[in-house]
Structures are given as C-alpha cells and as structure tokens.
Amino acid sequence: MKRPLAFGALAAAMAVPAAAEVRSTGADRFEIEHRFDSALAPDRLYTLIGQPARWWSDSHTFSGKAANLSVEVVPMGCWCEKMPDGKVVTHLQVGISEPGRRLLLTGLLGPLATVAKAGAMTWTITPRAQGSTLVMNYKVGGMTADKVAQFAPAVDGVLGEQMTRLHKTAEGLAAPR
C-alpha cells in the first residue's frame, strides 16, 4: 500500500505557495493556512478545487493514483477515493458548498484519522480585478495520547505541495490559448 496522504520529510521540503504557514499549535490542535492569487475566475477555481484528480499528487493517496479521487461539491458530498478492489475511502465530507465563494470540508486526512478527533478545511475564494484569491485553512484538533501538534509541519508540507499543484493547474487553465 502506498503511504496514505504521506507526511514525510520530502513532502515537508516541497515548495509551497507564496503565503503558507502553520498559524497556531497546541498539544491537541493545529491550524494551517495557504493562499495564492490566481488569474482564474472564482467560479472556475471553485470547480477546479472539486476536481482533485487534476491536481492532487499520486504519492499522497491510498491507491497511489490521484485519478481515483473525486469530490461531490454539495452538502454531505464526499471527498472520496476509489480503491483498486472496488472499495471507497471517505477522506472528507462537504459541510458547506457556496459555488465560487466557499467550500467547507470536515474530516481528517491520512494518518490524522488515527490521532485527532476533528478537522475542518475551509476553501475561501475572493474575487480580484483579474481573477481570484484562494485561502485554504485546515484546523485539526482533539486530545489523544499522541500529540496532534507534532503533525503540523508535515501536514503543512503535504498541503503546501497540493496547493502548489492546484495553483499551477489553475494558472494553466487561465493562460490564453
């Protein structure tokens, strides 16, 4: 099995968008935020977020193939991954869907599911004169024997890699043809 949404040192060293940070930590919680400006219009960027197979890294999936990821961007929709044996893994669930503006996902990615109690990932899109600004904020918390905050740098690296990939994909779509 591939490393599930791997949180290794290599991922932590990957380049991230211009604005990325671990905003806060405590023994039982952390908050990560990444942002970028895009030439892509808000509605098109929102649609792209809901297509992780186009921008998520193969190495950060259970199946080893980002093509197996999908998001149903409606309330109670699933950020899911189809496995080779036909089973489906639910990574996150849609809580709020405001097309072109905001997407709230709840749940825990990869190994966080075994050490944390809750997670909330909010994608906020703000229109700009030429495109949009995207802010992805991920809050994770919950008391366990494992200290949740120790995962913050690695999670930040993995999500930073995905945001870099999303940004690159968005700019490719926005480029004149």
The domains found in the chain, sorted by start residue, are: 26-57+94-174 (3.30.530.20)
Q: Please give the structure tokens belonging to residue 131.
A: 């495109």
pLDDT band at 61 (very low <50, low <70, confident <90, very high): very high
The HSE-up count of residue 7 (CA atoms within 13 Å, CB side) is 12
pLDDT band at 7 (very low <50, low <70, confident <90, very high): very low
Strands (E) across 9-83 are located at: 19-26, 29-38, 69-71, 78-82
Share of the chain above pLDDT 70, in %: 86
Mean pLDDT over residues 5-16, rounded? Answer: 37
Q: How far apart are CA 173 and CA 1, in angstroms?
A: 33
Q: What are 25's strand-pairing partners?
A: 30
With beta carbons less than 8 A apart as the criterion, state whether 16 and 161 touch: yes
With beta carbons less than 8 A apart as the criterion, state whether 153 and 3 touch: no
Q: How far apart are CA 72 and CA 94, in angstroms?
A: 8
Average model confidence (pLDDT) across the chain: 87
Q: How far apart are CA 66 and CA 57, in angstroms?
A: 6
pTM: 0.85
- For the chain, how far is it from start to end, CA to CA, in angstroms? 40
Name the 3-class secondary structure at 106: strand
Token pair 């093509």 is at which residue?
A: 67
Query: Which among 146, 54, 74, 134 has a CA at the least distance from the CA of 108?
Result: 146
pLDDT at 30 over 70: yes
